[in-house]
Amino acid sequence: MSYVLAFDLGASSGRAMLGRIHEGKIELEELHRFSNDPVQINQRLYWDILRLFHEIKQSLLKAKHRGIKLDSIAIDSWAVDFGLLDEAGELLANPFHYRDLQNNDVFEEVVAKLGAERIYERTGIQLLSFNSLYQLVAMKKQNHSALKEAKQLLMIPSLLRYFLTGQKFNEFTNATTTQLYNPLADNWDNHLLEQIGLDPSIFAEVVQPGTVVGKLQPSLCEELGIDSVPVIATAEHDTASAVAAVPAQSENFAYLSSGTWSLMGTVIDQPNLTEQARHHNFTNEGGVDHTFRFLKNIMGLWIIQQCKLAWEKQGENHSFAELVEMAAVAQPFTTFIDVDDDLFLGVGNMPAQIDLYCKRTGQTPPVSIGNYARSIFEGLAFKYRYTLETMEQLTGDDYAGLHIVGGGIQNRLLCQWTANAIGRPVWAGPIEGSAIGNMLVQWISSGQLQNISQARQLVHQSFGVETYEPVQSEIWDEAYTKFQQKILLRDANI
């Protein structure tokens, strides 16, 4: 039997997943899993890109030792980060991590210079301080040597794919996240690049998901003792892959990709560049089959992840499952937080940041670990409702429920609370959404699947979904009203 191999790289870990279609269903197997830890040096935060490539090679060796025949390989990862190559094709520096604080100083400066409206109408991307646009301007202001010498810029999965193949191409779904790509022109926005003093020639050509960009290069095959196989540019932004794997039974659906980040949106044929969409900071990111993902970034499980690390430093060691249990029995609706507040973006003592947030909003901070966890999960559920209802206003569509994919569905309490908060069903599954979507694009590219509709049907019959029906709707409606009064209306008046 032959397989496709999907490398799915997240902000905290990576995995190599084997997949095949057997008797009308997708069969998955985890081949290799590895950590992806940011590296802090003094006050700067980096990705260990060479370690990631080492783990990719270890995965290929594992497949070889098991005698597995691979039809193709593809990589997806997080968005916005990139590597810079010199004239000889050598990596000039370790890529910065999007949570590095270098961007904060230039964000407002760039927006003031170019204008928020203008940036949005040219890119359709929500204004976020860690977007590639602001990272690059920060490097330029610092007179960073890597940017001065750069002859090519490749997004993270494209960079790793270049290490495999020697071919330099960026990919559509990830390129659009940079806030430097013009979706109407379907290319890099040279005018915008020139305005901020960046050389348009360093931005590698963009290809669509499903493009075969090369094969494993001979030197790598010789090093590992493996045969060369095609390498495909899948939907290389992991959310784009996750959306491709949503097992929706209709074309009009709302989704939430749940993990370190939460990304809620829908699929549209043309970008929504209206002033209303910009005002609500919705984004238009590329999708499979020339579509766009009209979505909103929500902070996600990052906050509880950082709290867990802070508590461990204090000697309080609790698994995520234990934190969920503690949240379930804690007093409800005692602390309301906006999970997207800038206080929660960076690395650090997250419980202290929640305390500071409570002080700023006139609330009493949580009194126990369970109360902290509960306030986070409730805050996520309420922000999901607000975002879903806002999206309905912007698109003019009504959504019968919410599809949730990704590792976050393992938090069954949050799935149930989300259903309670939005007052409609939540359909959860599959967990490995990004890896599955990565594979689907590979199978469409090879002709094993005809199109994305057939691919979604295959996911549905392979994995199904778990349905969460809303309960205690009146109680959650009342609490949401308090959330609006304490948080949303307050923030609107600031």
Catalytic positions? 238
* Dist CA 484 CA 493 (whole Å): 12
User: Is residue 71 within 8 Å of 446, Cβ to Cβ?
Assistant: yes
Contact of 297 with 11, CB cutoff 8 Å: no
Contact 147, 136 (CB under 8 A): yes
* β 402-405/466-468 pair status: unpaired
The Cα–Cα gap between 439 and 28 comes to 10
The three-state secondary structure class of 261 is coil
Structural contact between residues 252 and 266, judged by C-beta atoms closer than 8 angstroms? yes
Residue type, 2: S
H-helix segments, 338-469: 350-360, 369-395, 412-422, 433-446, 452-463
Q: What's the DSSP call for residue 485? A: I
CB atoms within 10 A of CB 72: 22
DSSP per position, 333-349: SS----TTSGGGTSSS-
From the centroid of its chain, how far is CA 126?
14
Contact 435, 443 (CB under 8 A): no
Between strands 230-233 and 69-76, the pairing is parallel
Q: Give me the helices (H) in 211-319, please.
A: 218-224, 238-244, 275-279, 302-313
Q: How many whole angstroms separate alpha carbon 188 and alpha carbon 376?
A: 38
Q: How many CB atoms lie within 10 A of CB 5?
A: 27
Instruction: Give kind and range of the element (H or E) at residue 84.
Output: strand 82-85
**CA angle (223, 227, 233) in 5-degree steps:** 95
Both tokens of 130, joined, read 């860690």
Q: Is 68 helix (H, G, I), strand (E, B) or coil?
A: coil
Other residues' Cβ atoms within 10 Å of the Cβ of residue 441: 33
- Give me the amino acid identity at 375: S
Q: How many whole angstroms separate alpha carbon 416 and alpha carbon 419?
A: 5
Are 247 and 403 in contact, with CB atoms under 8 Å apart?
yes
How far is the C-alpha of 205 from the C-alpha of 196, rounded, in Å?
Answer: 20
> Integer distance in angstroms from the first to the last C-alpha of the chain?
60
